[in-house]
Amino acid sequence: MSLSGWMFKKACTRSDRKRDAGLTVPEELTVVRDIRYGRDPKDNTLDVCYPTDREQGKLPVIINVHGGGYVYGSKDLYQYYAADLAMRGFAVVTFNYKLAPAAIFPSPLRDLNLVIGWLVANADTYHLDMNNVFMVGDSAGAQIASQYATIYSDAEYRKIMLMKRPKLRLAGLGLACGMYDLKKMIEKEGPKGLVAGYLGRHPENYGEMLDITEHIGPDYPPVYLFSAGGDFLLEELEPMEKLLTEHGVPCESRVYGDEHTGHVFHLDIRSDLAKEANDAQTAFFRKYIV
């Protein structure tokens, strides 16, 4: 791992522990933990969290793709955020995926595809409505989620990525504090950045796989796109919003707070601003439930 990756991981660990200290999962929720969805007994595990008393037979689904600069993060670090979303009437799936530098691009996308395959196969057991599946991601997770949505929505890009369209309806995305153009970020960060660690020493070898934004079109799922006034990736929001709008993709965009409102602020579920953002995100999703 590069020095920048090590420092990033250390800072995130300290910050996340402080943010979540004292939180518990509400008793109104059922959480099924550490379900294997792939071969790796540690990295290929997921949790399903949903309201115990369901008024309907099946629940709309939110798949959470965790952030962490491709080198950090886990489903456990997102358990309270997942619970917060589940309290709004969703079944929320959080999962571990293999991290860089041990696993590089496109490993997280392959793991996410395995998660979705598992969900399709086990939808009845866990009360999942696969006609109403949403995906959220923050930071690097937003990039991964947005790229998977490109795979889902564009047949040509699916062929490039050697993947098949899953048997579900991806009804919408919530992309928070993310970056979306890997080619641009590798040029911006240079060879010692987090993206370089994710793509390896020779990103040019991936060829068309990195032409992600070129394959976003009108069939892309609706997007709730947001960031914060003090987010170091704030400048990535406007180009993505413009791209989506140009292709006629339904999109709502918002910048929360001010210059003191930082990266992935919405994960601090005790804050009023996080509540506002997460309410708005799930309200956006409800518009696309069929």
> What digits encode the pLDDT tens for the residues 107-166?
999 999 999 999 999 999 999 999 999 999 999 999 999 999 999 999 999 999 999 999
Q: Is 4 a residue whose pLDDT tops 90?
A: no
Phi, psi (rounded to 5 degrees) for 140: -60, -30
Confidence category of residue 101, pLDDT binned at 50, 70, 90:
very high
Q: What is the pLDDT of residue 1?
A: 67
Confidence category of residue 3, pLDDT binned at 50, 70, 90:
low
Indicate the domain borders of the chain: 3-286
Q: Is 55 a residue whose pLDDT tops 80?
A: no
- What's the chain's length in residues? 290
Which CATH fold would you assign to the domain 3-286? Rossmann fold (3.40.50)
Confidence category of residue 6, pLDDT binned at 50, 70, 90:
confident
Percent pLDDT > 90 in the chain is 88
Q: What is the pLDDT of residue 216?
A: 98
Number of H helices, E strands in the chain: 9, 8
Residues 6 or more apart in contact with residue 219 via CB below 8 angstroms: 153, 154
Any bridge partners for residue 213, and if so which? none
Closest CA to 12 of 277, 267, 188: 267
Rounded-to-integer distance, Cα 20 and Cα 12, Å: 12
Confidence category of residue 274, pLDDT binned at 50, 70, 90:
very high
End-to-end C-alpha distance for the chain, whole angstroms: 44
For the CA atoms of 111, 117, 119, 123, what is the dihedral angle to 10 degrees? Answer: -170
Average pLDDT over residues 258-264: 97
Rounded-to-integer distance, Cα 76 and Cα 222, Å: 28
Q: What is the residue whose two structure tokens read 């518990």?
A: 24
184 Cα distance to chain centroid: 20
Lowest mean pLDDT among 44-58, 96-110, 221-235: 44-58
Q: Is 192 a residue whose pLDDT tops 90?
A: no
169, two tokens: 């309806």
42, two tokens: 């540690």
Q: What is the residue whose two structure tokens read 């699916």?
A: 158
